[in-house]
Amino acid sequence: MPELPEVECVVRGLRVRIMRRSIQRVTVRLPRIVLGSPLDLAENLPGSTFEDIRRRGKLIIMNLSRGLSLLVHLRMTGQLLYLPIDAPLEKHTHLILHLADHGHQLRYRDQRQFGWLQLVETPRLENHPQIAQLGPEPLEISAEAFVRRIGARRRQIKPLLLDQTAIAGLGNIYADEALYRAKIHPLRRASDVSTLKLKRLHRSIQEVLREAINCSGTTVEQYRGVDGETGDFQGFLRVYERQGRPCGRCGRLIVKIRVGGRGTHVCPRCQRAPVSGS
């Protein structure tokens, strides 16, 4: 958390609120969340203007004037909050962008401090290691390309979906939800999944991501949108964190297992486990 839908919602919120706005000054309250020199951030951002804001995988990319870009990765508990300058300063607020002539600030808040920000030169973005290694976007890849890319791997299907070099943006919640919809057990090897089921998985991934975006994301812990609002998709989850509750399709109780070190939610009847050794 946050995953692709939550990051996409943050990006859309930022576009509405700060596009074409300029930065007056920067306050870095926790220097270690900045990759590189916090001083460079504080010296080079003031006076620059937001020209484009987009998402790549789970990464927020803010293109600024002067040939600079600000990268933000929220990781587990990061939040970008657009707040009035007189709003109380919440605990775990680690960086503040003071917006010129606007009466608002963009604040970065992160309780667990796993997220980060980095200032880079825009022409070097595509070669940046956090971007160059990313796989295709799940909402853009075709079903045929998805089958070729995923179906050729002998890895277990869920860890493969979580691998950002294989496909960018998926995390634990939406991998569980998509596999459940496609009736694929998360321990099954990708190469053992039929083409028909892989196409079904591709469709399920795109459906669940679009539905989550339309619901402003999923808030199961600390995700917040730019105005501090929570998401609504947690009310529509069919398997994630529903262990001990009946499957909506067959009535069997949802179980929680470990796959690749991650808590994973499965219907034992709808998602048949692979036989031993497969």
Q: For the segment 2-53, what is each residue's pLDDT rounded down to a tens digit? A: 999 999 999 999 999 999 999 999 999 999 999 999 999 999 999 999 999 9
Nearest to 70 by CA among 45, 94, 46, 96: 45
Rg of the chain over CA atoms, in angstroms?
A: 20
pLDDT confidence bin for 220, thresholds 50/70/90: confident
Give CATH for domain 143-266.
1.10.8.50
Of 5, 38, 56, 58, the catalytic one is 58
Of 2, 5, 38, 138, the catalytic one is 2
Residues spanned by CATH 3.20.190.10 within the chain?
4-132
Is it the case that residue 223 has pLDDT exceeding 90?
no
Is it the case that residue 102 has pLDDT exceeding 90?
no
Q: Residue 276: what pLDDT?
A: 66
Look up 51 and say whether it is catalytic.
Answer: no
Contact criterion met (CB below 8 Å) for 148 and 233: no
* Other residues' Cβ atoms within 10 Å of the Cβ of residue 66: 12
Is it the case that residue 123 has pLDDT exceeding 80?
yes
The dihedrals phi and psi of 143, each to the nearest 5 degrees, come to: -60, -40
Domain at 4-132, CATH from 1.20.120.400, 3.20.190.10, 3.40.980.10, 1.20.1080.10: 3.20.190.10
What does the DSSP 8-state code read for residue 186? T
Is it the case that residue 1 has pLDDT exceeding 90?
no
Percent pLDDT > 70 in the chain is 99
pLDDT confidence bin for 109, thresholds 50/70/90: very high
Contact criterion met (CB below 8 Å) for 217 and 2: yes
Look up 262 and say whether it is catalytic.
Answer: yes
Residue 152 Cα distances to 69, 88, 127, 198, angstroms: 36, 52, 26, 11
Q: Residue 124: what pLDDT?
A: 94
* Other residues' Cβ atoms within 10 Å of the Cβ of residue 195: 12
pLDDT confidence bin for 222, thresholds 50/70/90: confident
Of 29, 183, 189, 262, the catalytic one is 262
Residues spanned by CATH 1.10.8.50 within the chain?
143-266
Angle between helices 195-214 and 4-18 (to 10 degrees): 40
Q: Residue 219: what pLDDT?
A: 85
pTM: 0.95
Look up 17 and say whether it is catalytic.
Answer: no
Which whole number is the average pLDDT over 249-275? 96
Q: How much is the mean pLDDT over the chain?
A: 95
